Amino acid sequence: APSNVHAFTSPNSFSSSGFDNSWDMNSFKENFHIEIQSLDEREMVFDMVGIDASIANAFRRILIAEVPTMAIETVFIQ
CB-based contacts of 31: which residues, under 8 Å, 6+ apart? 49, 50
Query: What integer pLDDT is reported at residue 54 of this predicted model?
Result: 83
Residue range 39-70, pLDDT digits in tens: 998 888 888 888 888 888 898 899 888 888 77
pTM of the entire structure? 0.56
Among residues 7, 19, 9, which one has the least CA distance to residue 51?
Answer: 7
Residue range 12-47, pLDDT digits in tens: 666 677 777 677 889 889 989 999 999 998 888 888
